Amino acid sequence: MSPRRLNGFLSEFSAPAFLTGKVRRPDDGDGVDHDIYVYVNLPGDWEEFLNGRLGAATRKTARRTLRAIDDAAEYRVTDVTAATLERDLQILLQFWENQWGAKLAARYHPGLPQAMINNFRNMLRCAFEDDALYLPLLWQGDNPIGVQATLIDRKNRSLIGMLNGRDLSVRKPAPGFALHLYSMRWAIENGFAVYDLQTGDFAYKYDFGGIERKVECLLVSTATRRNLRDSLERRSLPVVLARVKALHQAGDLDGAARACGQILSADRSHSGARQLLEQLDAARRALLPQTLSVAARLHQAGNLAEAEKIYRKILDVEPRHFDVRYLLGVIFLQQRRYGEAEQQINQAIEIRPDVPAGHYNRGLALAKLDRIEDALASLDNCIELEPSHSQALALRAALARSPQPAASLTR
């Protein structure tokens, strides 16, 4: 995109409401700039390409490499057909996994290589069905040693490199170099004008007369990182539901439930989201005892922030869970968040008005807020339920003497 078009687009997302920044591509530590894409302009004649684009040493190696393939004595190239598609794809993807699988799994996620392989397989099958796949396979005798998957863009007369794989033990002839040469010759013979080597300023690309262009990725987001709309765009709901199901399968029940709520906010009658939300609520309720046990241990250990997070998640599922509502109020008291504590414990009392500790701690929070009359009333309720409640009796007596007594909370 030209600077003029880009600036015109970005001007609609101006500060302070929006933030714009460059997306940094992963750095493999090899000094390769993946913002640089390299392509080769192809002339109308193969000899013209050899003599005009390649240096003397590269040209000599190129002629020798292609001669070995054309002689077919030891090396040969086969082109993909409907009968060989699955075999050829499997060879390609196995080579690719051997080279990159362990590295990607270690750096990003153990499941990433297989997910990428599945995507590659699906894309290449579709490209083949649309007559948009050029996939030469290099053999040494009966052993495959390299595969080059290239997309065919007939409209723009371009071959676009997508994926390649090779036997890492084979050095001469270099399978990647041989297949690039073979593919470029095929492209010239079939009237193509561009051979696109795609991302990365790898040195070998310039051996073919590579030309650089820079392709940057920009991210535009709201300054608050929140949507500008209160609800989802209805046309996006099928995509969102698919992501909800993926969250569910991955075990993120809370995230899936929140997303279901977003769908239902946009479409109250969305049956798929409603049914899934019912399943999620049932699953989360089944986990409540285990989840509450974890939160209580964290609370006892003094990890109040993590305990609070879990208590809140439980209340999302079961808003009238007395123990959780009360314990969340206790956390607020411990953190001296007295207003929130009073509100939370008051909600707990509405659920279970017969628990003395609730009235006592509510009275303590009210005393800290300097609402003495309300505090006395709450303490009276506690004493009525448990006449021997020593802490309530002591606090009530202290309130009669001083508006800001020292007191300890009861869990």
In whole angstroms, how far apart are CA 250 and each of 245, 246, 247, 253? 9, 6, 5, 8
Q: Which amino acid, one-letter code, is at 126?
A: C
Query: Which pLDDT value is given to residue 108?
Result: 83
Q: Which CATH number fits domain 319-401: 1.10.260.40, 1.25.40.10, 1.10.3720.10, 3.30.300.350?
A: 1.25.40.10
Q: Which amino acid, one-letter code, is at 180?
A: H
Rounded to an integer, what distance in angstroms lies between the CA atom of residue 104 and that of residue 113? 6
Query: Which pLDDT value is given to residue 405?
Result: 46
Instruction: Print pLDDT tens along the chain (411 aa).
Output: 788 999 999 999 988 889 998 888 877 767 888 889 999 999 999 999 999 989 999 999 999 999 999 998 899 999 999 999 999 999 999 999 999 999 889 888 888 999 999 999 999 999 999 999 999 999 999 999 999 999 999 999 999 999 999 999 998 889 999 999 999 999 999 999 999 999 999 999 999 999 999 888 899 999 888 777 667 888 999 999 999 999 998 888 888 988 999 999 889 999 999 999 999 888 888 888 888 899 899 999 999 999 999 899 888 888 899 999 999 999 999 999 999 999 999 999 999 999 999 999 999 999 999 999 999 999 999 999 999 999 999 999 998 876 554 455 565
Query: Which pLDDT value is given to residue 371?
Result: 92
Q: What is the CATH number of domain 3-214?
A: 3.40.630.30
Rounded to an integer, what distance in angstroms lies between the CA atom of residue 205 and that of residue 6? 28
Beta bridge partners of 213: 37
- pLDDT tens profile 276-324: 999 988 888 888 888 889 989 999 999 999 999 989 988 888 889 999 9
Query: Which pLDDT value is given to residue 379?
Result: 93
**What is the phi/psi pair of residue 238, to 5°?**
-60, -35
Q: ∠ CA 309-312-360 to the nearest 5 degrees? A: 105
User: Which residue, chain included where needed, has tokens 């250990």?
Assistant: 301
Where exactly does CATH 3.40.630.30 map onto the chain?
3-214
Mean per-residue pLDDT over the chain, rounded: 90
Q: How far is CA 242 from the centre of its chain?
A: 14
**What is the phi/psi pair of residue 41, to 5°?**
-80, 130
Structure tokens at 242: 């698919």
In whole angstroms, how far apart are CA 308 and each of 113, 238, 314, 322? 37, 34, 10, 15
Residues 179-201, buried b or exposed e (16+ Cβ, 10 A)? bbbbbbbbbbeeebebbbbbbbb
Residues 113-124, buried b or exposed e (16+ Cβ, 10 A)? beebbeebeeeb
Structure tokens at 365: 């929070």
pTM of the model: 0.57
| Helices H / strands E in the chain, number of each | 16, 10
Rounded to an integer, what distance in angstroms lies between the CA atom of residue 310 and that of residue 293? 10
Where exactly does CATH 1.25.40.10 map onto the chain?
319-401
Query: Which pLDDT value is given to residue 26?
Result: 74
Do 191 and 30 touch, CB atoms closer than 8 A? no
Query: Which pLDDT value is given to residue 30?
Result: 74
Do 125 and 85 touch, CB atoms closer than 8 A? yes
